[in-house]
Chains A and B, each alone.
Chain A
Amino acid sequence: MACFLVPTAEAVAVKVIERVQNKKEKERELKIDAGAGETARTHVHAENTIPFSRKLRWLTRLLIGGAVLLAFEHIWHGEVVPWFPFLTAAATPGTTSVMLHEMATTGVGMAVLVTAVWAVMCKVSDRDVRRMVERREN
């Protein structure tokens, strides 16, 4: 009915966090470039891990990509229409409550699964980067 709206909302929120994080990382890099000693060592350590903003970009892409294709499926089934209220389920109070229930179960489930897969992906890629750096050092 409108389950794709939950991952879409999450994607928007993650995109905002990603932008803020990216800005913070750039500011930190500038500070590190200006400094030396301890900060330079931190810079070397930071290079060994994937920036968090980049990981957030992966999550945004997963969520947006999936939500776009799911939105197409909803258009296909006539659940999304180009006129107000845009969702056929939102036309009557009875169908609206069914829609909200579906968003709370299926929609939240989708967002949780995608986020969980992304978290595993981040763990695995961090481990891979660490291994690669260790191999290069040896």
Chain B
Amino acid sequence: MTLLITVFAAVISTAVWYKGMPEDKLKTGILCWMYWGASLMWLVDAIVEYTELKAAYFTPAPADMLNDAFLGLSVVALGLVIWVVRLLITDPKGVIAGILTKDSSDRRTSCHQENI
């Protein structure tokens, strides 16, 4: 379940990245790397588990499936948090820088007007 959710996240993020190219202003490339990397690694995990459990691998207990789904969604959320933090730090569109400079210039203008 975790593998499945991560693969879906990888495919969706790749589609979003492809649509945003060549500018890639939202820097979605990091999501593709993370989700594809994790998907490949969990694929190996799944293959190893399959060799041990055989057909039973495809019929997990509902509680295990729910836990795995919860984990998968948490993994996707963690990836998104890493992406958004990196986006805000690198600020490729200069939005944060614009807000900060606007604030300081506004304050400077109001101080200047008060002095007048």
Binding site for B on A (CB under 8 A): 3-4, 7, 58, 61-70, 72-73, 76, 105-106, 109-110, 113-114, 117
Contacts and interface: CB of A to CB of B under 8 A. Distances in A.
B35 interface: yes
19 contacts: A3-B41, A4-B41, A61-B30, A65-B36, A67-B37, A69-B6, A69-B35, A69-B37, A69-B75, A72-B78, A73-B2, A73-B75, A76-B71, A105-B48, A106-B48, A110-B40, A110-B45, A113-B43, A114-B40
A18 to B, nearest CB: 14
B37 A66 contact: yes
A66 B74 contact: no
Contacts of A67: 37, 41
A66 B38 contact: yes
Interface residues of B, number: 24
A70 B71 contact: no
A110 B41 contact: yes
Query: Most chain-A Cβ atoms within 10 A of its Cβ — which of B33, B41, B48, B74?
Result: B41
A48 B100 CA distance: 42
Contacts of B6: 69
Interface of B: 2, 6, 30, 33-45, 47-48, 71, 74-75, 78-79, 82
A72 B75 CA distance: 7
Contacts of B48: 105-106, 109
A110 B43 CA distance: 8
Contacts of B47: 109
Nearest to B48: A106
Contact of A106 (B38, B45, B75, B78): B45
Given A105-B48, A113-B40, A65 B33 contact: yes
Contacts of A62: 33, 36-37, 40
A136 to B, nearest CB: 16
Contacts of A66: 34, 36-41
A79 B44 CA distance: 18
A106 B47 CA distance: 9
Contacts of A3: 41, 45
A3 B6 CA distance: 18
A61 B45 contact: no
Contacts of A110: 40-41, 44-45
